Amino acid sequence: MVPVILRTEVHCLGCARKIRKAVKNLYGVENVWASPDTGLVVVAGSADAFALKRLIESKTRREVTIVSGGEEEPQPDVWQWQQALPPPPQGNGYPYYSHIVHSAPPQHYYVAAPPPPVYPYV
């Protein structure tokens, strides 16, 4: 169990208390130390370094860097999802749209539904 060490701006004991309070109930956290002198947050346990980073950034609205305990965050490969798309059909000259999501109900809903009854006023 390697501790996760994060660096952020911890100005005072109130900032350190806010960080400890936010992190202490996260799954895998056994103990938390936040130092205003060094600006380091040390988390003992098996917690994920990226989850800790995002949680502290959302609570303190300050940038957090991982010093140790976490590997480099995996970046999404943009070309990977583009290669997974099927090729557009050839020859008809019309644009090809894949993955279109319609927000309206299906067309048969409008055709099959009877019109509302009309009640004359008496």
Return the number of other C-beta atoms located less than 10 Å from residue 92's C-beta.
8
Q: Please say whether the dihedral angle defined by the alpha carbons of residues 21, 33, 24 and 39, taken in this order, is positive or negative.
A: positive
Looking at the domain assignment, is residue 60 inside a domain? yes
Looking at the domain assignment, is residue 109 inside a domain? no
The total domain count for the chain is: 1
Of 34, 30, 50, 51, residue with least CA distance to 42: 34
Beta strand spans in the chain (E)? 4-7, 29-34, 40-45, 65-68
Residue 59's domain is classified under what CATH number?
3.30.70.100
Full-model pTM: 0.57
Domain hosting 56: range is 3-68
For the chain, 122 residues long, give each residue's pLDDT as a single digit of tens. Answer: 689 999 999 999 999 999 999 999 888 999 999 999 999 999 999 888 999 999 999 999 999 999 988 665 555 555 555 566 666 556 566 665 666 666 666 555 555 566 677 777 75
SS3 at position 51? helix
